[in-house]
Amino acid sequence: MKKVPVITIDGPSGSGKGTLGRALAKELGWHFLDSGALYRLVALAALERGIPLDDEPALARLARELDVRFDVDSDAVWLDGRPVGDRLRTEEVGNAASKVAALPGVREALLDRQRAFRRPPGLVADGRDMGTVVFPDADLKFFVTASVEERARRRVEQLRQKGIEADFEAIAREIAERDRRDRERPVAPLRPAEDAILIDTTGRSIGESLAAMRPHLAQLPAST
């Protein structure tokens, strides 16, 4: 059976990989996996149910049993039949996600769920370990980066647009701390796959970053 093609896009939060991945998936007419949303959903469910963020067996069970639904067009996410709304994208949930993501049992529980997104005609998968662990046989792998300052600036701007004032220094510190946790964890640490193409989005618009990625699409198998 012919394997379904996959493009992986890994990198730290705020690098722009989500926006770029969604844009590529749209251009190609492929499915899109936001794997960070799965870790965020586990974290959110744990916070709501009062499960401690270091209770690995309980969190792994939660990850396996979570009733999750994504709507590709509207970008909406449902947890146990209820729309989760903006709380999924808060710093609180992002930080909790980074903690539960360090637990091997949770990562293992989410493996099959993530691989189930690989359906014809193809998948663009966004995360930290898409090219290294989840889809090591991907057809094309990108690793997207940007400086901490640039990522903090983007986050402050995003929050401002939602009417939330944020402190640049505090956000930059949180980003650096989360990076460190994601990079230094023993399981599936954040690092580029050996065969990944590096894209630095510092000082580049979305359009410019996409333009840097597009020529590499020529590497995809001819039928895709």
3-state secondary structure at position 133: helix
**C-alpha distances in angstroms, 42 versus 58, 113, 196?**
11, 13, 28
Shortest gap between Cβ of 111 and ligand DC (angstroms)? 10
Least Cβ distance, residue 130 to ligand DC (angstroms): 6
Residue-level length of the chain: 224
Between 98 and 209, name the residue whose CB sits nearer to ligand DC.
98
Least distance CB 34 / ligand DC (angstroms): 7
CB of 160 to ligand DC, least distance (A): 19
For residue 45 the two structure tokens come to 């469910």
**99 or 140: CB nearest ligand DC:** 99
Residue the block writes with tokens 């640039």: 150
Nearest alpha carbon to residue 191 among 179, 201, 173, 208? 179
Q: Quote the crossing angle between the two packed helices 104-115 and 35-49, to the nearest 10°.
A: 130
Between 13 and 209, name the residue whose CB sits nearer to ligand DC: 13
Q: Is the Cβ of residue 154 or residue 178 nearer to ligand DC in the bound state? A: 178
Binding site for ligand DC (CB under 6 A): 13, 35-36, 39-40, 94, 97-98, 101, 127-129, 178, 182
DSSP class of 130? I
